[in-house]
Amino acid sequence: EKKLCPFMEKCYRKNPIHFDEMSHPHLEKLLVDQLDGTIEIPEVLHFACNDRSQLLDQLKVLQIVLRRERNKNKDNQHKKATVQRRQDKLKQMDVEAQALSRALIREERENHTETIKTKKRNMEASEVGSSVTKKMRQMSIEGSNCTKDSQQNVSNSQSSSRSNEQSTSSGTSIMDMYQSCDSEKSRKEVRKKAIQMMRQSGYTVSIVEPGEFAIKYAFSAPYHLFFTRIENSKETYNQQFSITFPEILDRSLGEIINSLHLNFMVDVGWLCLQYLLAGQCTDMMILYGDRVDHEKLNNNITMIEVDMPTKFGCHHTKIMILQYKDDGIRVVVSTANLYSDDWENRTQGLWISPHLPRLPESANPSDGESPTGFKKDLERYLNKYRHPALTQWISAVRKADFSDVNVFLVASVPGTHKDNEVDSWGYKKLAHVLSRYATLPPDAPQWPIVAQSSSIGSLGPNFESWLSKDIIPCMSRETTKGLKSHPHFHQWKAKRTGRDRAMPHIKSYTRISPDLKSISWFVLTSANLSKAAWGVQRNNHYIMSYEAGIIFIPKLITGTTTFPVEDEEDPAVPVFPIPYDLPLCRYESSDSPFVCEFLTSLDRV
């Protein structure tokens, strides 16, 4: 609970952070039933007040704080309800599977004393007449299929019955059964039957069949940039750049033996289901900020909560590293959390690296570096966690050949950065890369910067306090005066890609030509437009959150000075996939942008 403000009725502060941390009963009492709309101060107050104007200013700020807390409680209740519904569904699926397993066991016991010949006749008859056996064959996951792939006969029928009986009595879940599979064939069978059970339980399942993603990945060259498929937009299902989570894990890219997930919000049960749907079974290490489920962890999963040095920052990074049977790795940088909502009907972006083979044992530590320094930057980022569990992953990165990676990593880590680390993180890193590698034409001041994010942090009291002082200079060489234009806000429109009604959780930054035909660079990142994410210049460069993103520079990817975003002028240079429509759509005077938190103007605060 909040601490009581020591100044009580004499408190004159108007800082929302102060109201977030301290309780002011005399003010909170006045806002009962006044969290929405205009605040009315009663004529008679129960405390001394010499300045009603100051009191009103305080109440306006506190109203926003209390409204945010109320909405947050509603969000938490919705989150709990969503998790509970999913858990109830899974329990229902397990109960159904167990009931069907018991029915099959009883049937097998009754038939076990018959001769092989009689048993065959009964089995043939049961295919026509026994609805229980037929339904079981369609829906149930047999424990024996998860432990061995052998031909069905009388002798292994007995062991199969015992295996089913044990798994049923111990309440073995679908995921437990899948984890016990020891072959690709058995995993495929469990996957098939799990999908059937999900559909039977009311899930609308639209799954991309595994084994084909390597072709789609090859066609995504040279950018390897994808957007999540939108469940409610059929138009996105067959797009070349659309992707589902199981496709990232597709076996056509290799057999995964280990994986590292760095993310903010994680639903472990949902994540395990994605591996099942991809037909992959692997060890997992997850570094996270917030876990939204309560599933029992299998022995193959290690969970590590990331401690933050300040409550105003968060572990917002979205990175995956997949390790394959051949000891090669693959890096995925995305904007999506690891839970269903972010992968169903929200616009997300992700970059998938090429396969990064293991270097020979005789290689030097500096071998296998990318032309962009990606390997060194990723290793430096992982080292910043200072966690011994990441040693194996730092070693895997160090031993991998990153020479085919042609993008830059731009990351943020909490702390004060100075000396030789100043240009390694946040907006300073972005400025460092753009100033050295991006190329702009003579009319560069006419090329606007487009910043697209899912939320906007506190930008300071005016345009000059952070945007024009820190952010815009890192993205341009021109004066901010030449770049500043009104209005700043534009609507999300993405009809061209079928994502017009798919709320954007993607974050991207670019600089586009006046004719809207080309861009000089593009950034895909987890970082919203905020000081916590990108950093702010105090005495040194100060950052509060973990973030990670990718910088696409034409010179290093296509050998040109710009990427085309409309028609291909050069067949050798494919159109760069922009997630939103061009030209941008301004808000009309009658529109009201959706805002929350502290995006409310207060005259005196």
Q: Which of 316, 417, 432, 486 is catalytic?
A: 316
217: nearest Cα among 309, 354, 313 = 354
- Output the CA–CA distances (angstroms, integers) from residue 497 to 230, 240, 300, 510, 582, in the order listed: 10, 11, 38, 18, 11
Q: What is the largest CA-CA distance in the chain?
A: 100
d(CA 60, CA 40): 11
336: nearest Cα among 286, 266, 239, 412 = 266
325 labelled ligand-binding: no
d(CA 125, CA 107): 13
d(CA 281, CA 406): 30
Is 541 assigned a catalytic role? no
Q: In terms of C-beta density within 10 A (0-12 exposed, 13-18 middle, 19 or more buried), how is residue 481 classed?
A: exposed
Handedness of CA 279, 283, 289, 295 (dihedral sign): positive
How many C-beta neighbours within 10 Å does residue 417 have? 21
534: nearest Cα among 581, 473, 492 = 473
d(CA 240, CA 522): 20
Q: Which helix (H) or strand (E) holds 83?
A: helix 52-112
598: nearest Cα among 423, 412, 459, 444 = 459
What angle is formed at CA 22 by the lines to CA 20 and CA 25, rounded to 5 degrees? Answer: 110
Is 112 assigned a catalytic role? no
How many C-beta neighbours within 10 Å does residue 88 have? 11
Rounded to 5 degrees, what are φ and ψ at 539?
Answer: -70, -35
How many C-beta neighbours within 10 Å does residue 50 have? 6
Positions of E strands within 168-300? 225-228, 242-243, 256-262, 265-266, 283-288, 290-291
First-residue to last-residue Cα distance in the chain = 25
Q: Which helix (H) or strand (E) holds 398?
A: helix 391-398
276, 190 Cβ separation under 8 angstroms? yes
Q: Which of 24, 261, 315, 505 is catalytic?
A: 505
Token representation of residue 214: 């390597």
d(CA 80, CA 86): 10
Token representation of residue 493: 């429109």
d(CA 476, CA 480): 8
418 labelled ligand-binding: no
515: nearest Cα among 439, 569, 448, 586 = 448
- Binding site for substrate, by residue number, is 318, 507
Residues with a known catalytic role = 316, 505
Annotated binding site: 318, 507
